[in-house]
Amino acid sequence: MASTKVKIKDRPLDIRQSREYANFLTGIFWQVERASIGQVFIKKLPIIGSALKIQRTEKINLKEIYSLQKKHRAFLTIVEPEIGLDTKPLITAGFKLTNSSYLPT
């Protein structure tokens, strides 16, 4: 059985940043965009705009997140940083912490 993690720079790649995960979400009608912060998943909703999902990013770049929000007319942005990453910049920018994960299971 194949492993769900791939080693990159002596650190395993989170499954949510893999090509296979992107293909899965594309199959359930999400769009995928590559950005310097990782894969960004976009769900377009008529009239409302779109929802952005950034899962297990290894860095936080607020300028890029704001740019993506504007580009895709996002009404909801979900950022799930890599475990152990400092979330203070997100909290300072007005993002709220949640205990629930946005995984498709």
pLDDT digits (tens, 9 = 90+) for 1-33: 343 443 445 556 677 778 888 888 888 999 999
What are 62-99's pLDDT values in tens digits? 999 999 999 999 999 999 888 888 889 999 999 887 76
Confidence at residue 11, expressed as pLDDT on a 0 to 100 scale: 55
Q: Reading across the β-sheet that carries 74-81, which strands appear in turn?
A: 31-35, 38-45, 49-57, 74-81
For residue 103, what pLDDT band results from cuts at 50, 70 and 90? low
Q: If you ran DSSP here, which 8-state letter would residue 97 be given?
A: -
What pTM was estimated for this model as a whole?
A: 0.77
